[in-house]
Structure 1
Amino acid sequence: MKPKFSTLIILTLITAALLAPFAVSPIYIPILREQAFDVLYFLQGNLFKQITGYISLVFVIIEMLLVARKRGRGWKIKLSVPGSMQLWRSIHIFLGVGLLAVVLIHTIGVTGINFNAIFLWVFFAVSLSALVGVVAETGVIESSQKRFFPMLTTATTDGKKVSGISKGNMIRGMRAFWLSSHIILVALFSVMLLFHIFLAYYYA
């Protein structure tokens, strides 16, 4: 089970829709403050923040477990969980978009200031680096039946020289770039998440 390119495009559009409130929150937050102050007070209250925060944390933990399932062999971690690698990769992608939705509910579209703002932007980078990378990679895989793409390099196939780069090499190059970036951002996000939890309880 692997998401098709068309499915990933739909997920990209959903992601764009989930990110849109963060861009327009300076417009609707003052309106909420003036016309529905009680609602805004509840949404920014400790109870709502704790509930949605815990839900977000559950999503993050599940995502980390999915990563361990996907990369357990390379990390020498043995997890006897049913399902293929493609299945867990697909769940990881869908759950990542779901986490973005939960974060939107948790923050009500407010980016915050100082550390919280940086933390949120790092999370956006984590989500987008993965989604854009997977979309681009899947697009190349499903693009055409051509084994080579026009480039400045030359490859050999069936004893003939073909101008271009092979699909396999292109995918490996793309994956090396976006996956490395994604892993670095995930590591940074994990450290910032622990600090965010500490601050949330320290100032609670």
Structure 2
Amino acid sequence: MKPKFSTLILLTVVCAVLLTPFVFSPNYIPALRLNDFDLYLTFQSDLYKQITGYLSLIFVILEMILTFRKRGRSWKIKIKVPGSIQLWRSLHIFLGIALVGSTLIHTIGVRGLNFNAIFLWIFFLVTLSALVGVVAETGIVESSQRYFRFSLFPATANSAISKGVLIRNLRGIWLTTHLILVSMFLVMLIFHIIIAYYYQ
């Protein structure tokens, strides 16, 4: 049950739509504050932030469980969980998009200041690295070409790379980047939770 290239493109569009309010929040948040202050206060209330924050945290925990399931064999973790790696990888992708949605609900599109702004940008980079990597990899896998020619450098204009080598090289770049960003995100998430409770 691996998502097809067309499904991943659709998920990328959904992700872009979910991220759009972050671009326009400097315009609509002041209007919301001016026109419906009670609703604005509801979005800023501790109860709203806790409920939506815990919802996002549940998605993060599920994502980490899925990561352990996907990488359990290579990490020598003995976990007996039903389902194929492709199923769990697909769930990881869909839950990642759901996490973007829950983050939008939690922040109402506000980019934050200082630490929260950096934390949010790291999260955006985590999402971007995953989407770019998975979409590119799936596009190569589904391509009818067996070899790919690159002419970025004149010395390699006539050389071709097989599908398998290209995917391995691409995965070495995007997956490493994704894992580094996820590690940064998790450390910042812990600090975000501590700060949220400290200032409560």
TM-score range (shorter-chain normalised) is: over 0.9
Task: Say whether residues 1:96 and 2:96 are aligned partners.
Answer: yes
Structure 1: runs of 5 or more not aligned: 155-162
| 3-state SS of paired residue (1:121) | helix
Q: State percent identity of aligned pairs.
A: 65
Task: Say whether residues 1:82 and 2:82 are aligned partners.
Answer: yes
The one-letter code sitting in structure 2 at the alignment partner of 1:184 is I
Report which of the two has the higher share of strand: 1
Count how many residue pairs are aligned between Structure 1 and Structure 2: 195
Residue pairs, 1:11-50, within 5 angstroms: 11-50=11-50
Question: What CA distance in whole angstroms lies between the structure 2 residues aligned with 1:5 and 1:147?
Answer: 17
| 3-state SS of paired residue (1:106) | helix
Question: What CA distance in whole angstroms lies between the structure 2 residues aligned with 1:194 and 1:25?
Answer: 25
The one-letter code sitting in structure 2 at the alignment partner of 1:63 is E
Corresponding residue for 1:106?
Answer: 106
Task: Say whether residues 1:6 and 2:6 are aligned partners.
Answer: yes
Question: What CA distance in whole angstroms lies between the structure 2 residues aligned with 1:138 and 1:153?
Answer: 24
- Kindly indicate whether the alpha-carbon contact (under 8 Å) linking 1:153 and 1:165 is maintained by their aligned counterparts in 2: no
Corresponding residue for 2:118?
Answer: 118
TM-score (norm 1): 0.94
Offset at residue 135 of structure 1 (A): 0.2
Task: Say whether residues 1:200 and 2:196 are aligned partners.
Answer: yes
Corresponding residue for 1:173?
Answer: 169
* Cα deviation 1:102-146 (Å, max 9, x = unaligned): 0000000001000000000000111110011000010111122x2
Structure 2: runs of 5 or more not aligned: 151-155
Residue pairs, 1:140-151, within 5 angstroms: 140-144=140-144, 146-151=145-150
- Kindly indicate whether the alpha-carbon contact (under 8 Å) linking 1:22 and 1:110 is maintained by their aligned counterparts in 2: yes
Offset at residue 36 of structure 1 (A): 0.7
Q: Aligned Cα RMSD in Å?
A: 1.0
Question: What CA distance in whole angstroms lies between the structure 1 residues aligned with 2:160 and 2:189?
Answer: 43
The one-letter code sitting in structure 1 at the alignment partner of 2:128 is L
Question: What CA distance in whole angstroms lies between the structure 1 residues aligned with 2:157 and 2:167?
Answer: 15
Corresponding residue for 2:153?
Answer: none
TM-score (norm 2): 0.95
Question: What CA distance in whole angstroms lies between the structure 2 residues aligned with 1:143 and 1:16?
Answer: 24
